[in-house]
Amino acid sequence: MTLPDPGSWGALLAIAAMAVATYLCRIAGVAAMSFVPLTPHVRRGLAALPGSIVVATVLPLIERLGLAAGLALLVAVAAMAVSRSELVALLTGMAAIAAARFLGF
């Protein structure tokens, strides 16, 4: 048996496929962890996870986006450390990247 061609429904089916894939990602980690007992090892692993996600997301992006982006992120982290405000960090970081790119870095 073969499926009929997606035809004019193609775009909507593509969106639906993306929506399902994304929702499964959203619930999979939570669902899977409900079967894992919270032993001390698991607890320590989960404690280390948020920082690891942040570092693992940002470091390779710096490499891909370039030196100016890396500097802007450093400036943003410094602004966050001083102000403890995400908005200040964002504005400072955006100003830094705009300045760096304007200067041609």
Partner 1 sequence: MQPHDAGSPPAESAAPLTGRGMLLGLRRVSVLMPGVVVFAVAFGAAASAKGMSLAETLLMSAFVYGGVSQLVAMELWRPEWSWGAIAGLAVVTATVNARMILQGASLQPWFARYPKAVNAFHLFFFTDANWLIGTRYRSEGGRDLGVLVGAGLALWAVWIVATAPGHMLGMLVSDPRRYGIDLVMPIFFAAMIVPLWRGRRGLVPWAVAGCVALLTAKLVDGYAFIIAGSLAGAVTGAFRDDPA
Please list every residue from 49 through 88 that binds partner 1, using CB under 8 A: 49-65, 69, 72-74, 76-77, 79-81, 84-87
Q: How near is the Cβ of 99 to partner 1 at its closest, in Å?
A: 10
Q: Which of 46, 67, 103, 105 binds partner 1 (CB under 8 A)?
A: 46
Between 67-83 and 40-65, two packed helices, what is the crossing angle to 10 degrees?
130
| Interactions with partner 1, residue window 1-30 (CB under 8 A) | 3, 5-6, 10-30
- Token representation of residue 10: 């193609």
CB contact at 8 A, 77 and 55: no
Full 3-state SS string of 77-104: HHHHHHHCCHHHHHHHHHHHHHHHHHCC
The CB-of-103 to partner 1 minimum distance in angstroms stands at: 13
CB of 85 to partner 1, least distance (A): 7
